[in-house]
Structure 1
Amino acid sequence: MTDAELAAHLAEAAGRILIETRESGVAEGQALGDAGDVIANRFLCEALRAARPDDGLLSEEEKDNSARLSHSRVWIVDPVDGTREYSEGRSDWAVHVGLAIDGEAQVGAVALPGVGLVLRSDRVGEVPPSPDKLRMVVSRTRPAAEAVAVAEKLGAELVPMGSAGAKAMAIVRGEADIYLHSGGQFEWDSCAPVAVAKAYSLHCSRIDGSPLVYNRADTYMPDLLICRQEHAEQVLAEIAAL
């Protein structure tokens, strides 16, 4: 099984487990989110350690182990990206399984179990063309001031959405055109989505245009831009002008 096949298989399977957990009625609200995190994390980490024992591993739901820093290949996972949306019964949450090689997000799968989809870096298609009025995905609870300001400059419509993975995949799926985030994230929030977006030939960078680098000692990632290549220069220029 290739790395991409493994990522897709595990993301899809974890998604099924999470849907079954939610539908079982075992818990509600925050307790459901906590249960989902624990169950999906255990499944993903055990499966990855069994399938790729020589690789490093970083998961949101496990204590970080600095041993990963000595590995060139590191799996970076978010068992439930958008725990709030998952626990509220919404569909805009995701499962991320990504592989960073020498600090670059190269392989990934993002499962969107609420809509029955898995987007993966080894099976890509054409990103649908953008409409005349651009659409920018932002947090449904705390849209970043920079994103709102750039959207106003571009005359773009704001599209509130839950998880980072759902937002990134909205660009891949042609449901939106720009994902600009400046409110801070961690490596597990974007590694798999960026691997998939790059496979679809989308622009992926920090908001100053510099590369996104993974498997660092500090897993905090302040900002992110994912968009079509033809929009990147203008978006970066508007950010720089703020």
Structure 2
Amino acid sequence: AKQFTSGRIKAERKAGGDPVTEADIALDKVLRETLVQAGDGWLSEETLDDPVRLQKQRVWIVDPLDGTREFVEGIDEWCISVALAVDGQVVAGGICNPATDEIFLGSRQTPTTLNGKKVSVSQRADLQGATVLASRSEVKRGEWDRFMDGPLSVIPKGSVAYKLARVAAGLEDATFTLVPKNEWDIAAGIALVEATGGKVVDKQGRPFTFNNRKTLVTGMIACGPNMFDNLTTLLEINAQKTT
């Protein structure tokens, strides 16, 4: 990815309005050629979806460049996100941020590491002052205004995959989004968080399954095990106030 200069590359618009660059397309091609073995399925943001994947036991779920807006603007909050799902469950994930030289790796068999060093999710329970990563675009749209007066310390950051990786490494305490995301946005990050003992659920509090026909999911909440009940209670109370 470093052969492409962040902040100096033109972006086109996909049908849904999201930006796409030559880096997205090139990385998608390289990852598919490198990862896929005979019998594997493939689900990527930058590849036309093939329903044959639904019949596969092993499926690679990839976002070749998550945080394209940040990449285009020269902000170092973008990453390459790769997950392996087996029978609908993510079993391994890798997230690389070339701009910051960070590589997060983890699986059900191996602990999550950051640049080769073992890391763990935050063990914090108290919400007062807890660092929570928020989507830059959601903050700009005002969707986080109701959380800005406490008790959380809200930090805007690009790329949902990168946010999940940072939570998995204990660099911040939690992240959540209450708007829909696609499987490729969250699969690798969820694998990393779960590999360090963290908890991740959807907006309704349900665990995730992957390689579904419809790839859109209803939001996501991720944090360490000790904060989970407090954070989900806060979000439930907040949701009741806004309905």
Taking structure 1 as the reference length, the TM-score comes to 0.83
Return the match for 2:120 from 117, 120, 126. 126
Q: Is the counterpart of residue 19 in structure 1 residue 2 in structure 2?
A: yes
Gap regions ≥5 residues in structure 1 = 1-17
For 1:41, the aligned partner's letter is: D
SS at match of 2:203: coil
Relative distance call for 1:172 and 1:74 in structure 2 (3 A) is: same
Residue-by-residue CA offset, 1:119-178 (whole Å, 9 max, x unaligned)? 1113433335548610111111223867554565x6011100000111112212333211
* 1:86-165 equivalent positions in 2, closer than 5 A: 86-121=71-106, 122-124=110-112, 125-127=119-121, 130=124, 133-143=129-139, 148-149=145-146, 152=149, 155-165=151-161
Root mean square deviation of aligned Cα: 2.3
Aligned to 2:219: 223
Q: Is the counterpart of residue 57 in structure 1 residue 42 in structure 2?
A: yes
For 2:50, the aligned partner's letter is: N
Seq. identity, %: 26
Q: Is the CA contact (8 Å cut-off) linking 1:29 and 1:88 kept in structure 2?
A: no
SS at match of 1:21: coil
For 1:36, the aligned partner's letter is: A
Q: How many Å apart are 1:204 and its aligned residue?
A: 0.9
SS at match of 2:212: coil
Q: Is the counterpart of residue 204 in structure 1 residue 222 in structure 2?
A: no
Aligned to 1:46: 33
For 2:67, the aligned partner's letter is: G
Taking structure 2 as the reference length, the TM-score comes to 0.83
Relative distance call for 1:129 and 1:151 in structure 2 (3 A) is: farther
Question: Quick check: which one's helix share is greater?
Answer: 1
For 1:43, the aligned partner's letter is: V
Question: Quick check: which one's strand share is greater?
Answer: 2
SS at match of 1:109: strand
Residue-by-residue CA offset, 1:54-87 (whole Å, 9 max, x unaligned)? 1111011000000000112111000000011112
Q: How many residues align?
A: 220
Q: Is the CA contact (8 Å cut-off) linking 1:134 and 1:155 kept in structure 2?
A: yes
Q: Is the CA contact (8 Å cut-off) linking 1:135 and 1:157 kept in structure 2?
A: yes
Residue-by-residue CA offset, 1:5-50 (whole Å, 9 max, x unaligned)? xxxxxxxxxxxxx111227x9x62426951111110110111123x
* 1:222-241 equivalent positions in 2, closer than 5 A: 222-241=218-237
